[in-house]
Amino acid sequence: MSDATSFTPDYFINRELSQLEFDARVLEQAKDEAVPLLERLRFLCISSLVLDEFFEIRVAGLVQQQAFGSSQRGPDNLSPAEQLRAIGKRVQKLLKEQYRVLNKELIPRLDAQGIRFLRRSEWNNKQAKWMKDYFRRELAPIATPVGLDPAHPFPKILNKSLTFIVTLEGKDAFGRNSGKAVLQAPRALPRVIQLPQRISQSPHEFVFLSSIIHAHVGELFPGMTVTGCYQFRVTRNSDLFVDEEEVDDLLRALEGELPGRRYGDEVRLELADDCPNELEYFLTNQFGLTEDDVYRCNGPVNLMRLSAVPDLVDRPDLKYPGFTPGLPAELTSGATMFEVISKGDLLLHHPFESFAPVIDFLRQAANDPDVLSIRQTLYRTGSESAVVKALLNAAVNGKDVLVVIELRARFDEEANIELANTLQAAGAQVVYGVVGKKTHSKLSMVIRREGSDLRRYVHMSTGNYHARTARLYTDYGLFTANPEIADDVQQQFAQLTAMGRAGDLKHLLQSPFTLHDAMLSLIQAEADAARDGKPARVMAKMNSLIEPRVIAELYRASQAGVQIDLIIRGVCSVRPGIPGVSENIRVRSIIGRFLEHTRVFYFHNGGDPKVYLSSADWMGRNFFNRVETCFPLLDADIRDRVVEESFETYLSDNAQAWELQSDGSYSAPAVGSAARVSAQESLLAKLGEAL
């Protein structure tokens, strides 16, 4: 068993601080002049969204640990309190930069392109009249201000809702005046409103809902004088807690738990930067927070409000150029998916290649009279999913349809509950996986009668069965009719739906049973080869790498002389470049148009490389607390192609590749005098079809 304790905490980068460095890299895309302007705005919004989820889950977890007096420390040996202090300092700096980018870079450049965000001081008479009409027509009838007095205590504020603290003078009809009121902006209204062209002076003019509220909030308090109105937003713990050992019906338990997400414990208060200190003190007392939990905002308190703007503005010249995902030559002949797969394994590299063949695979199975059964795992699928429609059609057509749905896919729980009910109503058999282990495997199997035999066709993937994200995330999908692979997949479905011990799989590695030990053994084998003076190399591409025993084994392999290249999009606890420990390890992060999501593991293996694709990152949760699938590439041509597209292409990137330094920071891409090379752009040119 590999042991991480021989390496001191200085050798491990803190997980939470590494996550914030990822957010900083996303924000850098909003500053990159090479990125189209409206896409820069999207990246700013994404950086805000990433920060929101970080507080809702990661910071909330640390706050809970601290409240419970937990002494648990990670491999970096930082206590919850120490992590929270470090997070606060880093987030304040990050937040300041977000608003600087918005106010000093993006808004002036957007304004120059005729895309304007109007301040109240800029409204002309026609616009001011339109705003007043909008307020009275759309907002006033559904707004519910709450005056604060003994009969009206401070209301429960929804998670991340746009809210205002209002100060007042005078008395209402009942002679009351506490001096303060709270107004939650109606959730049904858009936070950014596009003005009609007839009153616009530029091609695209927008106004924030908050500006309209600020201008007319006095109408909600007749006979009183509004002396101040300030935006704020509270972020709450959004992690669901269900004691799975104590519930009989996981679906019902989650349905009962979901509404509580809106009112979890407070962990962050965002506040307009002009809000008086006495109101800050008042709000922090109401929420049980301290001044360390307050983040002042020089602009809208939720930058995600701006995320609708790129879709409202028809300016293709300010967005990424369109593209059509390519199709492998094997799929252009008119043959069915089953005819193609029966001739050999087929690889798809999304989004450069189309996700349509995956949908075709299921659609054809649903309508094929020779197909008897379809088995499918679903983690995230999206609304109006073509995959789900195919499964529903198959059930209606009398196929035996088994769907393993992970109800606890974070922030998709409600959609997955609805999906489960819909599939069951159509006659599909639905199960929810294994109690205590999230089912994260990406598997699909079709069983088809061919003559006197039953043949199984399998699709395995590194990503979800989600057609929209397949155009935004990089992922691999593999089709195969290999009987031994099919045996393994069938056994995995049996494990998920029935009781019994896990049998030995011929090719697939599986969490929580074999994947962790297999990865350790494969790394150790490369280290042994290097010690014997033989060629040795490890390359791995994934979203996150934090599992301490894997990291310790990578350090030992580096000490043995193994060259190790890691392409880690997000969180990485490896500290490269430490003399005598990790000088043979290089870590890079690719941030670009598409979200890097592939998980690929390469081991030199004495010149006969072993290459795996996986649903799992190298994280403790993936190794020990989830059901995951890691599958080898048995076809030599496909294996070589994946090595070229995942490693050779990405390791030559000098345009979007950030290099991790020993201190935990990342150095920016530097093209220098060399020709610019972008891995994503190269793959799009090679595999996709430009519009």
**Three-state helix/strand/coil letters over 141-194:** CCCCCEECECCECCCCCCCCCCEEEEEEECCCCCCCCCCEEEEECCCCCCCEEE
| Start-to-end CA span in the chain (Å) | 53
**Which of the two residues, 212 and 381, has the higher pLDDT score?**
212
Tokens of residue 178, six digits:
């506490």
Whether 492 is in a domain gets the answer: yes
Cis check: omega of the bond before 196, within 30 degrees of 0: no
CATH code of the domain covering residue 131? 3.30.1840.10
Mean pLDDT of 669-675: 79
Q: E-strand spans in 561-614? A: 563-568, 585-590, 595-596, 600-603, 610-614
Sign of CA dihedral 621, 623, 628, 630: positive
| Burial of 578 (C-beta count, 10 Å sphere; 0-12/13-18/19+) | middle
Largest CA distance in the chain: 89
Dihedral through CA 407, CA 410, CA 415, CA 418, nearest 10? Answer: 20
- Tell me: do 350 and 487 sit in the same domain: yes
- Tell me: do 307 and 339 sit in the same domain: no
Asked if residue 519 has pLDDT above 90, the reply is: yes
Contact 509, 630 (CB under 8 A): yes
CATH code of the domain covering residue 594? 3.30.870.10
- Tell me: do 580 and 489 sit in the same domain: no
- Tell me: do 482 and 514 sit in the same domain: no
**Quick one: which of 630, 645, 411 has its CA closest to 507?**
630
- Tell me: do 254 and 141 sit in the same domain: yes
pLDDT of res. 418: 76
The last residue of one of the domains, among 484, 503, 522, is: 503
- Tell me: do 327 and 446 sit in the same domain: yes
Mean pLDDT of 158-183: 85
Asked if residue 383 has pLDDT above 70, the reply is: no
DSSP codes, 347-396:
EEEETTB-SHHHHHHHHHHHH-TTEEEEEEEES---TT-HHHHHHHHHHH
* Statement: the pTM of the whole predicted model exceeds 0.85: yes
pLDDT of res. 194: 97
pLDDT band at residue 251 under the 50/70/90 scheme? very low
Classified as helix, coil or strand, 538 is strand
Bridge-based pairing of strands 537-542 and 657-660 is: unpaired
pLDDT of res. 68: 83
Share of the chain above pLDDT 90, in %: 79
Contact 328, 348 (CB under 8 A): yes
pLDDT band at residue 501 under the 50/70/90 scheme? low
| Burial of 113 (C-beta count, 10 Å sphere; 0-12/13-18/19+) | middle
pLDDT of res. 118: 97
Q: How many domains does the chain have?
A: 3
**Quick one: which of 40, 159, 47 has its CA closest to 93?**
47
The last residue of one of the domains, among 473, 503, 533, is: 503
Asked if residue 196 has pLDDT above 80, the reply is: yes
d(CA 22, CA 543): 11
Size of the chain in residues: 691
- Give me the domain span that covers residue 654: 510-690
Bridge-based pairing of strands 192-194 and 610-614 is: unpaired
- Tell me: do 477 and 531 sit in the same domain: no
Cis check: omega of the bond before 141, within 30 degrees of 0: no
In this predicted structure, which of 124-133, 477-486, 496-505 has the lowest mean pLDDT? Answer: 496-505
Place of tokens 């706050």: 63
pLDDT band at residue 261 under the 50/70/90 scheme? very low
Classified as helix, coil or strand, 686 is helix
Mean pLDDT of 292-317: 96
Whether 101 is in a domain gets the answer: yes
- Tell me: do 70 and 185 sit in the same domain: yes
Sign of CA dihedral 241, 246, 251, 252: negative
Whether 119 is in a domain gets the answer: yes
Place of tokens 């896990």: 502
Dihedral through CA 669, CA 674, CA 679, CA 685, nearest 10? Answer: 140
Whether 279 is in a domain gets the answer: yes
- Tell me: do 353 and 232 sit in the same domain: no
The last residue of one of the domains, among 266, 292, 318, is: 318
**Which of the two residues, 413 and 516, has the higher pLDDT score?**
516
Bridge-based pairing of strands 429-431 and 438-439 is: unpaired
Active-site residue 440, yes or no? Answer: yes
Output 242-245 pairs: Cβ under 8 A, ≥24 positions apart. 242/408, 244/435, 244/436, 245/435, 245/436
Whether 1 is in a domain gets the answer: no
Bridge-based pairing of strands 323-324 and 294-297 is: unpaired
d(CA 143, CA 329): 58
Contact 623, 608 (CB under 8 A): no
What order of strands is seen across the sheet that includes strand 192-194? 115-117, 204-208, 192-194
Whether 4 is in a domain gets the answer: no
Dihedral through CA 324, CA 325, CA 328, CA 332, nearest 10? Answer: -40
* φ, ψ of residue 450 in degrees (nearest 5): -130, 100
Whether 2 is in a domain gets the answer: no
Asked if residue 503 has pLDDT above 90, the reply is: no
Whether 413 is in a domain gets the answer: yes
pLDDT digits (tens, 9 = 90+) for 399-438: 999 999 876 545 455 666 777 788 888 889 988 877 778 8
pLDDT of res. 55: 95
d(CA 31, CA 98): 10
d(CA 581, CA 497): 45
pLDDT band at residue 559 under the 50/70/90 scheme? very high
Classified as helix, coil or strand, 506 is coil
pLDDT of res. 260: 45
DSSP structure class, residue 500:
S
CA 593: distance to chain centroid? 14
- Tell me: do 488 and 621 sit in the same domain: no
Place of tokens 């090379």: 677
- Tell me: do 250 and 348 sit in the same domain: no
Bridge partners, residue 90, by sequence: none
- Tell me: do 419 and 539 sit in the same domain: no
Amino acid at 559: Q
Asked if residue 551 has pLDDT above 70, the reply is: yes
State the catalytic residue, choosing from 440, 466, 516, 604: 440
